[in-house]
Amino acid sequence: MSAQATPHEIKSLRDVIPFLRNELKPKGKILTPFNIISVPVMLLGAVLIAYRMVMGLGSITNLSQEFPWGMWIGFDVMTGVAFAGGAYVLTFVVYILRIEKYHPIIRATVLNGFLAYVFYAGALVIDLGRPWHIFNPVIGNKFGLSSVLFLVAWHFLLYMTAEFIEISPAFAEWLGWKRVRKILSSMTLGAVVFGITLSTLHQSGLGALFMMAKGKIHPLWYTQFIPILFFVSSIFAGLSLVIFEGSISHKVFSDQLNDEHRASHHDILIGLAKGCAGAMFAYFFLKVLIFMHGRHWEYLHTGWGLWYLVEIIGLVLIPCYLFLRGAMYKNLTAIRIAAIMTMVGIIVNRLNYSVIAFKWYIPLPAHYVPHWMEIVTTLAIVFAEIWVFRWIVNRMPILRKPPAWATEE
Amino acid sequence: MDRRKFLKSLGTGMLGAAGTALTAGRPRAAEMVGNSGKEFKGVLVDTTRCIGCQSCEEACAVAHDLPVPDDIGDESVFGQQRDTSTTQLTVVNRYETEKGEIFVKKQCMHCAQPGCVAACLVKAMQKRVDGPVTWNANCMGCRYCMVSCPFDIPKFEYNSWNPKIVKCDLCWERLQEGEIPACVEACPTETLLFGKRRDLVEEARSRIYREPAKYVNHIYGEYDVGGTSWIYLSAVPFEQIGFKTDLGTVAYPEYSTGFLYSVPIVLILWPAFLMGLSYLTRREEEKEE
């Protein structure tokens, strides 16, 4: 497989079809361990989704009247969107602050963010009881203007559009559409500004969804500042995922990279680690302030207090320190470990709000625990996203340099 | 088109998500009057009068075309606490208290400012002008109403391909025809009293004044969660008969208004700030060149 795709230009519509047919063919080895694991999971996931559409949500989930939201909201949507936050943070750094150092990873990050929204927010469709009404808030079959979810739904839609515009020059370069590319790239800055604004609001909006669950979420987690906490944590959630994903992509797609990109990779990771450490310290500080104001000392002695400390010390403060140390001593292993710990911390945090500390007063046998079929469906969605990501990276200038004609201007 | 409507549609059309809750009105809690100016109706439940006959459960099932429970009048159902369900919009539970057995009817409280209505992104949940909170089929099944209800009332049909949200609708269809709710009509002991909420609060107060030894001096739902259309009288403190007494007096939608108010501000300030910042960095770049 050649990284530098043969120069081509599609002049007429007749050229498009053979080109696409050629591109649809698999590239690279077929029987890789990843494929062998992911294909059966995706097939099983598809069967489960079809089954759920016929038999209802209760058929493959452990959702109940007490626990209307489970893993598909708590993990797929809440956590998936937080992890997609890297796109708005890095577009801010690269297109607004114009720090060129991070330019080599911007396309992969935006693509990842875009696909995360398509797949994880798209996973909402299988969680909705009446998914055929999903466009009601858009087409105006009643606008629920006082609903936080109305805002989040619109922002998902608009933000997906903004991210698509941001990534679209890569599609145009792939198809060889010079004029289209010119138009699309002129829209990038506008899309970035719009995208950052939307992200600020819907990242915090996801937290604001829980404001009306007062009394159902454990007092150590429920605070009026949930929206701000969700926003700040999405910054380092997103950056940690960029570090994690970048480290993997760097190995898996190494044929896509040129020497210049390879050389700058370490420097980029160290910069991201510093960013993470800063955001995490701010977040930790906020958490401490909120704890002090909440005066919830009495809960610290309970099991919930311990779980709370695990989250904010074990999975925020310690990885924050590891990031800082890793950046100081240029220790990439420490940075990668910190990124994984941070990601676990975000998963724990989002699940605490939606599932674990939600109705904490209902003890375990009756408390929601995901059904194995919910987990398989989630895995299938994650794998499907990785497949599409890989397909695009192998064909379009995402990690590799854009074709010469695109950079000439 | 009046100004409010104009602003509403403008906000919807232009920004969709701009959090136009700013222009959305809400009922004045103290008076229990909606935007229409019509007073909310409700029901007063005097738990000291209930004998646990379950006539209300039966009447409710009949009125809503639901299966009539075959254990009506059977004492054994009180052996455990029951919850409302997708087939039972109201249930009566028995509580052992310091003043003996007390029966309590449970159903939707029909809050003056319901969390479920504020939660719904398609207005499938609606607070009707005369008080009932009802569900409509344009619902997408997100179940955010269930998360936002302080009383966990909306129930979801998990085992249907075409599920509905099911809850008490205060017999909204009957009300439109000038009738009273089926449960109130069926009650043989006048435990349930239907009327304008203001009158019900007056009645409840006068019952407490007349017999202060019989009742605790608290009308549940008068102020709880900003006031509810169903209000309760009790002989014992309400936490002994299954009520949540720690919900506060703030209406649930208020908890998310702080966020919603900040939305237009961010939506206006952020782009300006970002464009300015982008302009600054561009100029510096040019200087360097």
Return the number of other C-beta atoms located less than 10 Å from residue B151's C-beta.
20
Return the number of other C-beta atoms located less than 10 Å from residue A101's C-beta.
12
Return the number of other C-beta atoms located less than 10 Å from residue B162's C-beta.
11
- Is A356 in contact with A217 (CB distance < 8 Å)? no
* Residue A2: pLDDT over 80: no
For residue A69, give the nearest of B21, B141, B147 by CB distance.
B147
* Residue B19: pLDDT over 50: no
Asked which of A23-32, A294-303, B249-258 is least confident by mean pLDDT, the reply is A23-32
Q: Closest approach of chain B CAs to the CA of A204, in angstroms? A: 9
Q: What is the pLDDT of residue B285?
A: 55
Distance of CA A76 to the CA centre of its chain: 9
* Residue B245: pLDDT over 60: yes
Query: Which of B89, B161, B247, B285 is the mutation pick for testing A, counting most A CBs within 10 A?
Result: B161
pTM, whole model, 2 decimals?
Answer: 0.90
Q: What is the pLDDT of residue A28?
A: 76
Taken in order A305, A307, A313, A316, the sign of the CA dihedral is negative
For residue B122, give the nearest of A137, A155, A193 by CB distance.
A137
Q: What is the pLDDT of residue A175?
A: 87
What residues in A contact B266, CB-CB < 8 Å? 197, 200-201
What residues in A contact B118, CB-CB < 8 Å? 146-147, 212
Whether residue A139 lies within 8 A of chain B, CB to CB, comes out as no
Q: Taking the domains of chain B in order of start, what are their residue ranges? A: 32-241, 253-289
3-state secondary structure at position A329: coil
Express each pLDDT in B182-192 by its tens digit: 999 999 999 99
Residue A106 sits at φ, ψ, to 5 deg, of -65, -40
Q: Closest approach of chain B CAs to the CA of A237, in angstroms? A: 21
Q: Do A69 and B259 touch (CB under 8 A)?
A: no
Q: In A25-85, which ranges are continuous DSSP H helix? A: 33-55, 71, 80-83
- Is A192 in contact with A92 (CB distance < 8 Å)? yes
Whether residue B266 lies within 8 A of chain A, CB to CB, comes out as yes
Average pLDDT, rounded, for chain B: 87
Q: Please identify among residues 354-383 of chain A the ones whose CB lies closer than 8 Å to any CB of chain B.
A: none
For residue A147, give the nearest of B121, B158, B274 by CB distance.
B121
Query: Which of B7, B121, B239, B255 is the mutation pick for testing A, counting most A CBs within 10 A?
Result: B121
* Residue B287: pLDDT over 70: no
- Is B194 in contact with B181 (CB distance < 8 Å)? yes
What are the structure tokens assigned to A328, written together?
């100081």
Whether residue B268 lies within 8 A of chain A, CB to CB, comes out as no
Please tell me which residue, B25 or A408, carries the higher pLDDT value. Answer: A408
For residue A150, give the nearest of B17, B152, B281 by CB distance.
B17
DSSP sequence for chain B: --HHHHHHHHHHHHHSSS-GGGT----BTTTTB-TTSPBPEEEEEETTT-----HHHHHHHHHTT-PPPTTTT-GGGGGS-----SS-S-EEEEEEETTEEEEEEE----BSS-HHHHH-TT--EEE-TTS-EEE-TT-----HHHHH-TT---EE-TT-SS--EE---TTHHHHHTT---HHHHH-TT--EEEEEHHHHHHHHHHHHHH-TTTS-S--BTSSGGG-BSEEEE-SS-GGGGT----S-SS-TTHHHHHHHHHHHHHHHHHHHHHHHHHHHHHHHHHHH-
Q: What is the pLDDT of residue B1?
A: 43
Express each pLDDT in B50-95 by its tens digit: 999 999 999 999 999 999 988 777 788 898 899 999 999 999 999 9
Q: Give the up-direction half-sphere exposure of residue A99: CA atoms within 13 A in the CB hemisphere.
A: 13
* Residue B193: pLDDT over 80: yes
State the Cα–Cα distance between residues A241 and A120, nearest whole angstrom. Answer: 15
Express each pLDDT in B91-115 by its tens digit: 999 999 999 999 999 999 999 999 9
Whether residue A217 lies within 8 A of chain B, CB to CB, comes out as no
* Residue A255: pLDDT over 90: no
Q: What is the pLDDT of residue B288?
A: 55
Whether residue A66 lies within 8 A of chain B, CB to CB, comes out as yes
Mean pLDDT of B116-120: 95
Express each pLDDT in A117-128 by its tens digit: 999 877 889 999
- Is A85 in contact with A203 (CB distance < 8 Å)? yes
Residue of B nearest to A207 (CA): B259
**Domain annotation for chain A: domains and CATH numbers:** 35-400 (1.20.1630.10)
Q: Do B143 and A150 touch (CB under 8 A)?
A: no
* Residue A69: pLDDT over 90: yes
Q: Do B146 and A201 touch (CB under 8 A)?
A: no
Whether residue A57 lies within 8 A of chain B, CB to CB, comes out as yes
Please tell me which residue, A316 or A364, carries the higher pLDDT value. Answer: A316
Mean pLDDT of A53-79: 94
State the Cα–Cα distance between residues A108 and A87, nearest whole angstrom. Answer: 9
* Residue B139: pLDDT over 70: yes
* Residue A130: pLDDT over 60: yes
Mean pLDDT of A285-303: 91
Q: What residue has token string 């009057």? A: B33
What residues in B contact A54, CB-CB < 8 Å? 161
Q: What is the pLDDT of residue B23?
A: 40
Q: What is the pLDDT of residue A196?
A: 96
Q: Please identify among residues 221-250 of chain B the ones whose CB lies closer than 8 Å to any CB of chain A.
A: 244, 246-248
What residues in B contact A193, CB-CB < 8 Å? 270-271, 274-275, 278
For residue B17, give the nearest of A131, A154, A210 by CB distance.
A154
State the Cα–Cα distance between residues B149 and B111, nearest whole angstrom. Answer: 10
Residue A391 sits at φ, ψ, to 5 deg, of -60, -45
Q: What is the pLDDT of residue B2?
A: 52
* Residue B170: pLDDT over 70: yes
Q: Please identify among residues 138-167 of chain B the ones whose CB lies closer than 8 Å to any CB of chain A.
A: 138-144, 146-148, 150, 152, 155-163
In residues, how long is chain A? Answer: 409
* Residue B118: pLDDT over 60: yes
Residue of B nearest to A201 (CA): B263
What are the structure tokens assigned to B270, written together?
């952020």
What residues in A contact B140, CB-CB < 8 Å? 128-131, 133-134, 136-137
Question: Taking Cα atoms as reference points, which of A377, A375, A369, A372 lies closest to residue A48?
Answer: A377
Q: Closest approach of chain B CAs to the CA of A29, in angstroms? A: 40
User: Judging by beta carbons within 10 Å of its beta carbon (0-12, 13-18, 19+), is residue A297 exposed, middle or buried?
Assistant: exposed
* Residue B283: pLDDT over 70: no
Q: What is the pLDDT of residue A213?
A: 94
Angle, helix A103-116 to helix A259-294, in steps of 10 degrees: 60
Q: What is the pLDDT of residue A43?
A: 96
Q: What is the dihedral of CA A188, A194, A197, A200, to 10 degrees?
A: -70
Q: What is the pLDDT of residue B261?
A: 92
Q: Please identify among residues 76-135 of chain A the ones whose CB lies closer than 8 Å to any CB of chain B.
A: 92, 95-98, 124, 127-131, 133-134
Mean pLDDT of A307-334: 95
What residues in A contact B280, CB-CB < 8 Å? none
Q: What is the pLDDT of residue B15?
A: 45
Q: What is the pLDDT of residue B209?
A: 96
Angle, helix B254-288 to helix A148-175, in steps of 10 degrees: 30
- Is A49 in contact with A125 (CB distance < 8 Å)? no
Q: Binning pLDDT at 50, 70 and 90, where does residue A356 land? A: very high
State the Cα–Cα distance between residues A5 and A401, nearest whole angstrom. Answer: 11
Q: What is the pLDDT of residue B281?
A: 87
Mean pLDDT of B113-142: 94
Fold of B32-241: Alpha-Beta Plaits (3.30.70)
Please tell me which residue, A26 or A57, carries the higher pLDDT value. Answer: A57
Q: Binning pLDDT at 50, 70 and 90, where does residue B180 land? A: very high
For residue A130, give the nearest of B115, B148, B163 by CB distance.
B163
* Residue B27: pLDDT over 90: no
- Is B192 in contact with B44 (CB distance < 8 Å)? yes
Q: What is the pLDDT of residue B9?
A: 45
Q: Please identify among residues 148-167 of chain A the ones whose CB lies closer than 8 Å to any CB of chain B.
A: 148-155, 158
Query: Which of A128, A143, A202 is the mutation pick for testing B, counting most B CBs within 10 A?
Result: A143
Q: What is the pLDDT of residue A209?
A: 96
Question: Which residues contact residue B38 at a Cβ distance below 8 angstroms, ignoring those fewer than 6 apart?
Answer: B129, B130
Q: Give the up-direction half-sphere exposure of residue A152: CA atoms within 13 A in the CB hemisphere.
A: 25
Express each pLDDT in A73-101 by its tens digit: 999 999 999 999 999 999 999 999 999 89
Q: What is the pLDDT of residue A21?
A: 80
Q: Do B256 and A134 touch (CB under 8 A)?
A: no
Q: Do A96 and B156 touch (CB under 8 A)?
A: no
Q: Binning pLDDT at 50, 70 and 90, where does residue B6 land? A: very low
Residue B149 sits at φ, ψ, to 5 deg, of -85, 120
Express each pLDDT in A132-180 by its tens digit: 999 898 888 889 888 999 999 999 999 999 999 999 999 999 988 888 8
Q: What is the pLDDT of residue B35?
A: 66
Return the number of other C-beta atoms located less than 10 Å from residue A59's C-beta.
17
Mean pLDDT of A236-264: 88
Q: Binning pLDDT at 50, 70 and 90, where does residue A9 land? A: low
Please tell me which residue, B157 or A403, carries the higher pLDDT value. Answer: B157
Q: What is the pLDDT of residue A296?
A: 83
Q: What is the pLDDT of residue A7?
A: 47
Q: What residue has token string 């599409």? A: A388
Please give the share of chain A, as a percent, with pLDDT higher than 90. 71
This complex has an ipTM of 0.90
Q: Do A130 and B139 touch (CB under 8 A)?
A: yes
